[in-house]
Amino acid sequence: MVFPYKHPWKAVGLGVAIAFATIAVTQLLLDETALQMATRWTGRISAMLFIPVLLARPLVDLFGAKRFGSLLRQRAGFGLTLAGNHHVHMILLTVYLIGEGAAASDFYLNPGLYIYFVLVGMNVTSFPKLAKTLPRIFVKWLHIVGIYALAAAFFTTLILSQITGEETGTFRLAYAIIFALCFALRIAAWAKRLRAGAKA
């Protein structure tokens, strides 16, 4: 699948469409738990869309652009599609928590809330014209910090806990294995760059 990274709004729209398709499916199949499951599955889909964002650069560093250059070029498309889906997830989660009687402190004391602000910032600065209006070093570090902030958010919500209900052991194990492999590859790529720098 070719993600429309050259047309950011199309990528965001694709993510929103995926989220609404998820909502439609859960509404058709479920009744009382439809909102809960739509919230859970939009979060899971975002986690899956995050994997190529996390892996694109280290795969190129480790195995070359000939094999994974296309994935790296599509990384922004995956990221924007993730953002579109995850913004809908945020709305669903907010509605779910309000329905469960969550207090205001449950929102502003939750670190996950601020991850959404980081995601919005990454989303906005993925639009070339908007990114050029900001200092380049700011945009660079926003995306570096954002990648690891998102990784931490997905790790804590999908593996350690789940706001909308406990994940099953199978899902938790699958996420743990996938994210462990992702970080192993990132560390291997980082070590390779260090060795290359030492030889230069």
Per-residue pLDDT tens over the stretch 20-44: 777 777 666 656 577 777 887 788 8
Confidence of residue 200 (pLDDT cuts 50, 70, 90): low
Report how far apart the first and last C-alpha atoms of the chain are (Å, whole number). Answer: 38
Confidence of residue 10 (pLDDT cuts 50, 70, 90): low
Q: Which has the higher per-residue pLDDT, 192 or 163?
A: 192
Per-residue pLDDT tens over the stretch 128-186: 777 888 888 888 888 888 888 888 887 777 666 544 445 556 667 777 788 888 889 99
Q: What pLDDT does residue 164 have?
A: 43
- One-letter amino acid at 176 equals A
Per-residue pLDDT tens over the stretch 77-100: 888 888 888 888 888 888 877 777
- One-letter amino acid at 53 equals V
Minimal CA–CA distance to 50: which of 15, 25, 78?
A: 78
Q: What pLDDT does residue 183 have?
A: 87
Report the C-alpha gap between 37 and 172 in whole angstroms.
16
Per-residue pLDDT tens over the stretch 107-132: 666 666 777 888 888 888 877 777 88
Confidence of residue 188 (pLDDT cuts 50, 70, 90): very high
Per-residue pLDDT tens over the stretch 126-136: 777 778 888 88
Please give the structure tokens belonging to residue 12.
Answer: 């965001």
Q: What pLDDT does residue 110 have?
A: 66
Q: How would you label 130-168 residue by residue, b for 16+ Cβ within 10 Å and e otherwise?
A: ebeeeeeeebeebbeebbebbbebbbebbbeebbbeebe
In the predicted model, is pLDDT for residue 61 greater than 80?
yes
